Amino acid sequence: MCLGQYVDDLDRELLALLQRDASQPYAALGRAVGLSPGAAHERVRKLRERGVILRTTIEVDPAAVGRGVLAFVMVRASAWMGDQRTRDALAALPEVQEAHVVAGSATLLLKVRTTSTAGLQGILRRIFTVDGVASTEAIVVLETFFERPTDPAGQAEPAEPAWRAGQAEPAGQAEPAGQPGRRAEPATADQRAR
C-alpha cells in the first residue's frame, strides 16, 4: 500500500500523535488537530479499516524482560527461501523479531533478541534446521543509538532537478565559480541597483 494515496495531512498528524502515545483519548487527539472527538475517532477508525494502522501495541524495554542481546543475522541459502514454508519456520522461532528477504550476498536478514550470547548461539543452531540454510553470520549490537517508527509526516526526498539529469540548465542559474553543485541565488533589488 502506498501511504501517500490514502492519507491526507490531517491523517498524518493523527498518525504521528498515535505513534507517540496510542492511549490518548479521542478528545485529546481531536483537540491537537482541530477536530471534534467524534471526527477524530471516525478518522482513526477509517485508517484502521483501510489498513493504514496495522495494529495498536506498546513498546517494551527488551532488557527489562530479559531480551537484552540484539543481533542481526544474515542467512545465506542453498535454495530460494522466499516462500511460505520459510516464513512459517522462522515465525515459529520467538527470538526472531523480524525476517526480511534481501538482495546481496545474504538471502535473508533476521533481527533476533535473546537473553544471552548462549541464547544467541542456541537460536543460530535452530535457524540452521530451516530447510535451505547454508550459513549464517551474526552481527551482535553493542549499543543502539536510536530506533524510530515510520514517520507518517515525513516527506520524500526531492526529485533531482532536470538540469542535473542531463537537461539544459535554467537561464540565469549558473553555478558560482569554484562551487560545483551550488546554484547562484537570484539578485536582490539592492544588488541589481549597484
Copy the grid coordinates of residue 26: 479521542
What pLDDT, in 10s, does the model give residues 26-45?
Answer: 999 999 999 999 999 999 99
| Domain 62-140 classification at class level | alpha beta
Q: Do domains 3-49 and 62-140 have the same CATH topology?
A: no
Question: Are the C-beta atoms of 136 and 76 separated by less than 8 Å?
Answer: yes
What pLDDT, in 10s, does the model give residues 120-162?
Answer: 999 999 999 999 999 999 999 999 999 888 888 775 444 444 4
CATH T-level fold of 3-49: Arc Repressor Mutant, subunit A (1.10.10)
What are the structural domain ranges in the chain?
Answer: 3-49, 62-140
Claim: this prediction has a pTM higher than 0.85: no
Nearest to 121 by CA among 141, 97, 140: 140
Residue whose cell numbers read 528477504: 101
